[in-house]
């Protein structure tokens, strides 16, 4: 039997019993086991003995960054580079940090520095390609990623990134060819199956898109993205709402580009919600408001001037990181929305929800929980995607993975929740493939007594 990669606490010796090299090796091992506090303590002890130890500075920087102190982490790596200017991994990791923070020019500079020192550094070619893609320099990204593949034709990750660039160029044929080549090298890659399936669906190859999802589910039968997408494509086994893991994974992936993508789609839902809120006459600026499904916090700056306390809740931790950067929320909570509302000890004067209920099919549980969490006389304001054709169940899961709702279902669910409809009107929520997405703007009130 293989030994497990764990370290017994008794093995973490005082640094006096280890030389610096042994202490560094142990600290790196602890870091790899996600024992960041212990690793950080060891790096600090090393730096007490050797303040200019570039490796310890570099790895402590990584530890600090992933513990949430991003500024300090990056400063430590920059200090390591001032001591060891040709430290390739430090340049590359600093570039990754800039990339994660969407500072694409700085990320590019780091990766180009790596390649200046060592033009054969394969990972830097791949990372540079991603940075160029994210900054919109698609042609350059293709060239750089092709170079990465030339240097390492067996790295499936390089193929996936190149396929993603082709998708962004809307060259879906090329993207699918690259994804297939990746799967030939790394057959069990869930994300590539998903991307290939979406590309096939977009090209109208519905049957092949479904086949790819079924293939994925053969070796990953509980994959939440595949299960939800298969239901969306086939209309079979439609869930009453999107699975938590589907929502969390979808938006964790989407967090980095969420704002820029929605800006390109003339995203209107936050402005609709804000206008509806401001139309309520006689509202006090001391109100407690919940931004339900706050995402990256697009509603926050619009609503902050008009309320006394603003709370945000979302299922995606990555989206909440972006919302936190706006510095407009009094509190941000990572939780599933309906469960949070049902368990919340706090009651709200206003609950707003922009483009969130499109991940719920049956609206009754979420709206009932909203009614429960409102103060008497409080308001619920939300948007939903519009389904013109009447359905017996009142909603439909569409191929893009979101639900649309009949007006009658919204009205019935609000009535069941004990909420009075103040407004329920048609609205354009955003553009999709250049076409307007029809929806509803709804406002309801909890009776005052």
pLDDT in tens, 188-236: 888 899 999 999 999 999 999 999 999 999 999 999 999 999 999 999 9
Q: What is the CATH number of the domain that holds 289?
A: 3.40.50.150
Question: Is residue 440 a part of any domain in this protein?
Answer: yes
Per-residue pLDDT of 334-366, as tens digits, reads 999 999 999 987 799 999 999 999 999 999 999
pLDDT band per the 50, 70, 90 thresholds, residue 263:
low
CB 100 within 8 A of CB 255: no
* Three-state SS at 100: helix
Question: Is residue 139 a part of any domain in this protein?
Answer: no
DSSP codes joined into one string, 121-148 = -HHHHHHHHHHHHHTT-HHHHHHHHHHH
10 Å CB burial of residue 1 (0-12, 13-18, 19+) is exposed
Return mean pLDDT, the chain. 89
Q: Can you give the pLDDT at residue 435?
A: 86
Query: Alpha-carbon dihedral of residues 86, 92, 93, 96, nearest 10 degrees?
Result: 150
Model confidence, pTM: 0.79
Is the pLDDT at 8 greater than 70? The verdict is no
Question: Is residue 351 a part of any domain in this protein?
Answer: yes
Per-residue pLDDT of 234-249, as tens digits, reads 999 899 999 999 999 9
Map tokens 């980095």 to a residue. 256
Is the pLDDT at 16 greater than 70? The verdict is no
Q: How many other β-carbons are positioned within 10 Å of the β-carbon of residue 68?
A: 9
Is the pLDDT at 25 greater than 70? The verdict is yes
Is the pLDDT at 311 greater than 90? The verdict is yes
Is the pLDDT at 315 greater than 60? The verdict is yes
Is the pLDDT at 15 greater than 80? The verdict is no
10 Å CB burial of residue 156 (0-12, 13-18, 19+) is middle
Question: Is residue 393 a part of any domain in this protein?
Answer: yes
pLDDT band per the 50, 70, 90 thresholds, residue 4:
very low
Segment of 144-148, 165-169, 386-390 carrying the highest mean pLDDT: 144-148
Q: What are phi and psi of 2, to 5 degrees?
A: -70, 145
Q: What is the mean pLDDT of residues 160-177?
A: 92
Distance CA 189, CA 109 (A): 31
What is the percentage of the chain residues whose pLDDT exceeds 90? 69
Pick 206 or 392 by higher pLDDT: 206
Per-residue pLDDT of 416-442, as tens digits, reads 999 999 999 999 998 887 788 999 999
CB 299 within 8 A of CB 359: no
Is the pLDDT at 281 greater than 70? The verdict is no
Is the pLDDT at 10 greater than 60? The verdict is no
Question: Is residue 251 a part of any domain in this protein?
Answer: no
Q: What is the mean pLDDT of residues 22-41?
A: 87
Q: How many helices (H) and strands (E) does the chain have?
A: 21, 9
Distance CA 256, CA 361 (A): 27
Question: Is residue 118 a part of any domain in this protein?
Answer: no
User: The domain containing residue 303 runs over which residues?
Assistant: 262-445
CB 90 within 8 A of CB 84: yes
Is the pLDDT at 119 greater than 60? The verdict is yes
Question: Is residue 183 a part of any domain in this protein?
Answer: no
Pick 13 or 68 by higher pLDDT: 68
Is the pLDDT at 137 greater than 70? The verdict is yes
Q: Which helix (H) or strand (E) holds 382?
A: strand 374-385
Distance CA 189, CA 380 (A): 42
Q: Can you give the pLDDT at residue 30?
A: 87
Question: Is residue 74 a part of any domain in this protein?
Answer: no
Q: Can you give the pLDDT at residue 185?
A: 85
Q: Which helix (H) or strand (E) holds 218?
A: helix 206-219
CB 230 within 8 A of CB 217: yes
Q: What is the mean pLDDT of residues 147-174?
A: 90
Q: Can you give the pLDDT at residue 130?
A: 93
Distance CA 39, CA 32 (A): 9
What domain count does the chain have? Answer: 1
Is the pLDDT at 1 greater than 70? The verdict is no
Edge-to-edge strand list for the sheet holding 435-445: 331-334, 309-314, 288-292, 348-353, 374-385, 435-445, 420-432
Q: Can you give the pLDDT at residue 5?
A: 33
pLDDT band per the 50, 70, 90 thresholds, residue 445:
very high
User: Distance of CA 231 to CAs 191, 222, 393, 398, Å?
Assistant: 17, 13, 16, 9
């Amino acid at each position: 039997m293989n030994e497990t990669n764990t370290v017994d606490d008794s093995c973490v010796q005082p640094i006096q019993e280890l030389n610096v090299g042994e202490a560094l090796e142990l600290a790196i091992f602890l870091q790899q086991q996600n024992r960041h506090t212990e690793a950080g303590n060891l790096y600090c002890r090393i730096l007490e003995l050797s303040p200019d130890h570039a490796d310890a500075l570099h790895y402590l920087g990584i530890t600090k960054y992933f513990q949430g102190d991003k500024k300090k982490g990056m400063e430590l790596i920059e200090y390591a580079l001032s001591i060891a200017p040709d430290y390739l991994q430090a340049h590359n990791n600093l570039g990754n940090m800039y990339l994660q923070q969407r500072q694409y020019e700085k990320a590019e500079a780091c990766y180009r520095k790596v390649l200046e020192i060592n033009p054969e550094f394969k990972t830097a070619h791949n990372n540079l390609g991603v940075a160029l893609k994210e900054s919109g320099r698609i042609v350059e990204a293709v060239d750089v990623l092709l170079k990465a593949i030339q240097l390492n034709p067996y790295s499936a990750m390089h193929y996936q990134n190149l396929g993603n660039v082709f998708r962004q160029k809307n060259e879906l044929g090329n993207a699918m060819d690259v994804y297939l080549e990746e799967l030939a090298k790394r057959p069990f890659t869930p994300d590539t199956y998903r991307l290939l399936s979406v590309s096939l669906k977009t090209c109208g190859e519905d049957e092949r898109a479904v086949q790819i999802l079924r293939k994925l589910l053969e070796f990953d039968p509980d994959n939440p993205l595949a299960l939800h997408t298969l239901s969306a494509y086939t209309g079979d086994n439609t869930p009453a709402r999107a699975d938590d893991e589907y929502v969390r994974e979808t938006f964790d992936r989407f967090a980095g580009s969420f704002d820029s993508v929605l800006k390109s789609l003339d995203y209107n839902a936050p402005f609709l919600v804000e206008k509806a809120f401001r139309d309520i006459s006689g509202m006090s600026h001391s109100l407690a408001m919940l931004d339900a499904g706050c995402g990256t916090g697009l509603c926050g700056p619009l609503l902050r001037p008009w309320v006394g306390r603003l709370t945000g809740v979302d299922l995606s931790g990555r989206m909440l990181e972006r919302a936190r950067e706006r510095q407009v929320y009094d509190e941000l909570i990572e939780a599933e929305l309906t469960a949070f509302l049902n368990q919340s000890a706090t009651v709200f004067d206003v609950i707003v929800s922009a483009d969130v209920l499109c991940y719920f099919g049956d609206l009754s549980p979420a709206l009932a929980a909203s009614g429960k969490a409102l103060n008497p006389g409080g308001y619920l304001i939300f948007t939903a995607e519009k389904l013109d054709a009447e359905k017996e169940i009142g909603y439909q899961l569409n191929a893009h993975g979101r639900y649309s709702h009949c007006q009658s279902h919204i009205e019935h669910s609000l009535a069941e929740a004990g909420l009075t409809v103040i407004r329920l009107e048609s609205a354009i929520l955003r553009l999709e493939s250049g076409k307007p997405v029809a929806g509803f703007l709804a406002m309801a009130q909890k009776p005052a007594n």
